[in-house]
Chains A and B, each alone.
Chain A
């Protein structure tokens, strides 16, 4: 299979949990893997979470050994801050053009001591922390992001904006900071491609009645995950914007379900997990879960729901919710099952947003020549909603880029794609 026009190497796009698992498995089979990641770190969305349902395992403890394995794997070439520019050819012989942005920090020399952060005079919102904390122009998005090597944000770094600052370089004892690094254009030859670029969440600003962006203390699921995270902006302390501890919270399910046109399958469980988060930190807090249809499929989820019910959470079925403000409190107004309007005043609102494909999906689909389905996800060939096989031989999908799914399902798909790649290319 190793003749001139048939390549064994595999391109994996996206270093989230699906991409990592696939890369490690392919490597075990002695395949050379080129793992391309858009950001400066591996781990994707999963590293934003403190715990994962249903056994409340520590999320970063679960994934960090896999990230470590990945960074040490001799068959995997990890290219971060990289973007796919062009894909030509067919199964067994794809030519891939990649643009890799300079990190300006040498991956080999840097030991991750973080000494360069403090002297950096620039301070701005940390996107990884959903703007809940500040970062420098040289930064690692959160403690524990791997590889533990910062990058320079050239848009905000003074040196890249005409000034002569070199504070970070002076602070580095390992000569790891290299302002002369250049963006690179790479070209790869691969036999198969796996797309695993993950998900984003529905932006609740699209539905003004939830008050997101208008009222303080209305959070998206991502923001709330970071608020609870021990490596997050508050070191895991759940507080309101004024620093007080919330006495009550409403968790609203199905935010954007009608707009996206499907049930995102994981939000009920993650909403119940949020109840657990709140109760574990603030035992006396009063919690309302406003849900439409409780979707908790699978053998281990009902038990978690029963346990959550025992914490005293009030489960309210409603399809009609609105958030307003009265004084210090938010008023969650909903239509009850007998169609009465009910108001509940709360300190905090968490919006469980629908799952959407990651932002770059349209461009990537175009480059790869794979059609998207009517919901904007990568379309699988069988149109059965779950297959990893696309209409183009040699190109496979795994994880939430193909449709909303939980971690177990994403990992199953990743390994299934490995099976497909090993048996067909």
Chain B
């Protein structure tokens, strides 16, 4: 094919023209191979400028376009659209940035001109090695798999089902409701949990769009955003159920730190020491009592159990510890309740008032360190050092431990099956700490609730709604998905099968083909980050639009 490259230099008003001798640039590049037209224009991004370019492409029958103007951030998209309108593939275009990287930062006009020539020449030489890239479209399946039938999974399922999505809700235990079924009330308004959760469970059961699988675990998930094939196994009869979905919501919840790992708290050794969940269950049964059936006259609530071991503040324990004080005071009004805490973590607009109200109910707060629990004269002795480092002892009938929240046991297994990463604490890792809190490195897989990190019920519900927001806005019935165009390609003849690329791919999109003993990129879900290209020891991987030739030729011209 004969190339006919058009090169257009934007004056950008005075921005480029006053700093760069544009005529000199035109002179210098006109003789380059395949260059057919070189011209200048006042402002190419203007309405008239775009029209001018479009007409030029058609008039001269150009095959490739180079624009020397501003940063690609500003107008790459603009000029690619011009190409499309003029009938040439938008990837046969290159933008040379002679404004931000040249005119605006170079005071000397001769030097700026010299630099602009290099940048423009580099772009021209590069564009000669461009080849057309085509957008693909794939059909998508709008159905959703939700893993985990706690409050997070329930809320996600209901909202998706309300939008007429078919939802497969898979729960590993025999019933829906998760951890919070055990709670009598939820802070800070102390509303009844059962009202909330029972109503939601019945909403799920009534909803024709939601198919619930209890006693069921996910065995295998294959595919990609828009088209996942799911296999789940029923625990009761080992039957395998299969269904196809376009997205996955992982809502598998969390677990509590096991206080047996911190023997100083006497848990498992001394009677009447309970974990938070044990105490919730006792309270839910309607009666708070000691092992011998008597009513406790005093109770200590120990905050931050396991905080040092897990290495983070679990964010909800202060608040539920305060709730426990309220449970105790409600059921046994004359009970003495003492909270042993290190730092009071009650973030958010409603919690200070809850704390103040709890304190007003004659609940004691002791700032303490180094808590050690022993048995003494039939009572439980809580030994601690106060703020001034002085050791103190108090005796109680009952002790409640508020343990840290940690990832559920099966987190690694699920991470493997679903193909998502875990963070350094073992929770599922979000795509971006700030901007992608419910997304993961695998497109179409979302994480919600305490499986992503410790959080309270309102925060969990918001995440579930956010995951459904992500799904409802990106996976739309009847609409096709457009995968990334600039993706990696592995040459079969050069690949030695060392699998290095598989280990560096942050999106898990490279598979190993056992029969051919080579790595293969899933072209639908590759995001074109280029990690594998840099890591491949055999040079077998090419990133489209950033090929070795394209970069080499561009660089050679730039450093000439």
Stretch at the interface among A238-246, A277-285, A415-423: A415-423
Taking CB as reference atom, which chain A residue is nearest B165? A423
A413 near B462 with CB under 8 A, answer: yes
- Give the distance to chain B from A226, nearest Cβ to Cβ, in Å: 20
A247 on the B face (CB < 8 A): no
B61 within 8 A of A: no
Residue of A25, A257, A317, A384 near B473 (CB, 8 A) is A25
Interface contact A262-B435, CB-CB below 8 Å: no
**Which of A92-100, A121-129, A358-366, A375-383 is the contact stretch?**
A375-383
Q: Does B21 contact A (CB under 8 A)?
A: no
Query: Which residues 65-86 of B have a CB within 8 angstroms of A?
Result: 70, 73, 77
Q: Does the CB pair A299–B427 fall under 8 Å?
A: yes
- Asked if B13 contacts A173 (CB within 8 A), the reply is yes
A344 interface contact, C-beta 8 A: no
Beta-carbon contacts of A394-425 to B below 8 Å, as 1s and 0s?
Answer: 00000000011101110111111111101110
Q: Is the CB of B437 within 8 A of A28?
A: no
Q: Which residues of A contact B462 (CB under 8 A)?
A: 386-388, 409, 412-413, 416
The residues of B that contact A415 with a CB separation of less than 8 Å are 438, 465-466, 469-470
Stretch in A149-157, A202-210, A214-222, A289-297 touching the partner = A289-297
Q: Given A173, A261, A300, A420, which contacts B433 in the complex, CB threshold below 8 Å?
A: A300
Instruction: Give the chain B neighbours of A329 by CB distance below 8 A.
Output: none
For B312, the chain A residues whose CB sits under 8 A away are 298-303
Which chain A residues in 90-134 approach chain B with CB under 8 Å?
108-109, 111, 113, 115
Contacting pair B458 A385 (CB below 8 A): yes
What is the distance, in angstroms, from A62's C-beta to the closest C-beta of chain B? 6
Note all chain A residues with C-beta closer than 8 A to B163: 422-423
A57 CB–B CB distance under 8 Å: yes
Which of these binds chain A: B122-130, B338-346, B484-492?
B338-346
A411 to B463, CA, bound (A): 10
Note all chain A residues with C-beta closer than 8 A to B440.
Answer: none
User: Contact string, B289-330, partner A, CB cutoff 8 A, digits 1/0?
Assistant: 000000000000000000100011111100000000000000
Q: Is residue B206 contacting chain A, with contact meaning CB distance below 8 A?
A: no
Say yes or no: A416-B469 contact (C-beta < 8 A), given A54-B433, A388-B462: yes
Number of interface residues of B (CB under 8 A): 66
Contacts of B159 in A (CB 8 A): 419-420, 423
Q: In chain A, what residue has the closest Cβ to B15?
A: A113
A52 adjacent to chain B (CB < 8 Å): yes
Q: Which of the candidate stretches B277-285, B349-357, B408-416 sits at the interface with the other chain?
A: B349-357
Chain A residues within an 8 Å CB radius of B14: 113, 115, 173
Whether the Cβ atoms of A377 and B472 lie closer than 8 Å is no
Q: Which residues of A contact B77 (CB under 8 A)?
A: 72
Interface digits, B396-438 against A, CB 8 Å rule (1 contact, 0 not)? 0000000000000000000000000001010100000111011
A265-B313 in contact given A387-B462, A388-B462, A419-B469 (Cβ < 8 Å): no
The answer to whether B472 touches A418 (Cβ under 8 A) is yes
Q: Is the CB of B350 within 8 A of A419?
A: no
Q: Tell me if A21 is interfacial: C-beta within 8 Å of chain B.
A: yes
**How far is B192's CA from A49's CA once the two chains are assembled, in angstroms?**
41
With A21-B435, A297-B454, A419-B159: A262-B353 Cβ-Cβ less than 8 Å: yes
Q: Quick check: is A367 within 8 A (CB to CB) of the other chain? A: no
Residue of A nearest to B427 (CB): A299
User: Is B332's CB within 8 Å of the partner chain A?
Assistant: no
Q: Distance in Å from the Cβ of B477 to the closest Cβ of chain A?
A: 11
Interchain CA distance A25-B352 in the complex, whole Å:
34
Chain A nearest Cβ from B136, distance in angstroms: 18
In contact, B345 and A295 (Cβ under 8 angstroms): yes
Q: Is B203 an interface residue (CB 8 A)?
A: no
A29 near B433: Cβ-Cβ < 8 Å? no
Set A261, A262, A298: member contacting B453, Cβ < 8 A: A298
The CA-CA distance from A17 to B433 in the complex, in Å, is 14
Contact of B352 with A261 in the complex, beta carbons under 8 Å? yes
**Whole-angstrom CA separation of A403 from B456 in the bound complex:** 15
Assess whether A419 is in contact with B313, with CB atoms less than 8 Å apart.
Answer: no
- Cβ-closest chain B residue relative to A296: B313
A263 touching B435 by the CB < 8 A rule? no
Interchain CB contact under 8 A, A295 and B434: no
Measured in the bound complex, the distance between the Cα atoms of B464 and A417 in whole Å is 11
Query: Do A384 and B435 contact each other (CB < 8 Å), given the known contacts A263-B348, A293-B344?
Result: no
CB contacts (< 8 Å) of A186 on chain B: these are none
A61 to chain B, nearest CB (A): 12
Residue pair A28, B423 in contact (C-beta under 8 Å): no
Taking A29-B474, A263-B348 as known contacts, 6 extra A-B pairs with beta carbons closer than 8 A to each other, sorted by chain A number, are: A293-B344, A301-B312, A411-B434, A412-B459, A412-B466, A414-B466
**A–B complex contacts, Cβ < 8 Å, 20 sampled:** A26-B473, A29-B476, A57-B433, A62-B435, A111-B43, A262-B348, A265-B348, A297-B313, A297-B315, A298-B312, A299-B454, A301-B313, A375-B349, A386-B348, A386-B461, A388-B462, A409-B462, A416-B466, A419-B469, A420-B469
Leading 7 A-B pairs by shortest Cβ distance = A419-B469, A265-B347, A297-B315, A386-B458, A173-B13, A416-B465, A418-B469
Q: Which residues of B contact A (CB under 8 A)?
A: 12-15, 43, 45-47, 70, 73, 77, 159-160, 162-163, 186, 188-189, 307, 311-316, 343-353, 387-388, 423, 425, 427, 433-435, 437-438, 453-454, 456-459, 461-470, 472-474, 476
Interface residues of A, Cβ cutoff 8 Å to B: 17, 21, 25-26, 28-30, 52, 54-55, 57, 62, 66, 68, 72, 108-109, 111, 113, 115, 173-174, 257, 261-266, 293-303, 317, 337-338, 373, 375, 377, 382-388, 403-405, 407-409, 411-420, 422-424
